Amino acid sequence: MLEIDKIPSKIGYYFAGFTDGEGSFNVSFRKRNDYTMPWKISLCFNISQKDKVILALFKRYLKCGTLRGRNDGVWYFEVNNFTAIVNNVIPFFEKFGFLSAKKKRDFSKFKKIATLIQDKEHLTKEGIEKILDIRIQMNDGGVGKKKYTDHEIISEIS
């Protein structure tokens, strides 16, 4: 369990600054046939870097996540377990914060989506629409690879 008060301030603020420049908060939809809704909504915090040492320190201090390497020498630290996101990642960055307006905005939207999921709103069409509306405001308008468009996601819900 994360004991946030035991994390040295210099480490916490270093990680926040590092994340401000290199980290990402993402929301993805995966098609599922075994769920009440046809979608599993996943939250993910990640950082990629060639220096594995810094990422290993993130894993150590946040007490969650996984490290994995690519063939080109880039390492990823990622947390996609919802409980770890809510109990470790969100409290950590609430305490240590960000300086850039963009990362503050993306983190705020990420927290809103986590709250909607905790409140089970992701199990309704209206809740999924809210999540999609929030997600499009993150990460420079949702730039990046998405397997499914918002329209495809909504059209699959009865």
Of the pLDDT bands very low, low, confident and very high (cuts 50, 70, 90), residue 142 is low
Bridge partners (DSSP) listed for residue 43:
27
What CATH number has the domain bearing residue 112?
3.10.28.10
Lowest model confidence (mean pLDDT) among 63-72, 105-114, 142-151: 142-151
- Identify the CA nearest to 96 among candidates 85, 107, 86: 107
Query: Do residues 15 and 77 touch, judged by C-beta distance below 8 A?
Result: no
**What DSSP state is assigned to residue 4?**
G
Query: Do residues 157 and 38 touch, judged by C-beta distance below 8 A?
Result: yes
State which residues form the domain around 53. Answer: 4-155
pLDDT in tens, 64-97: 999 999 999 999 999 999 999 999 999 999 999 9
CA-based radius of gyration for the chain: 16
Tell whether the model's pLDDT for residue 143 goes beyond 60. Answer: no
Domain count, the chain: 1
pTM: 0.92
Q: In what order do the strands lie in the sheet with 66-69?
A: 23-31, 39-49, 75-79, 66-69
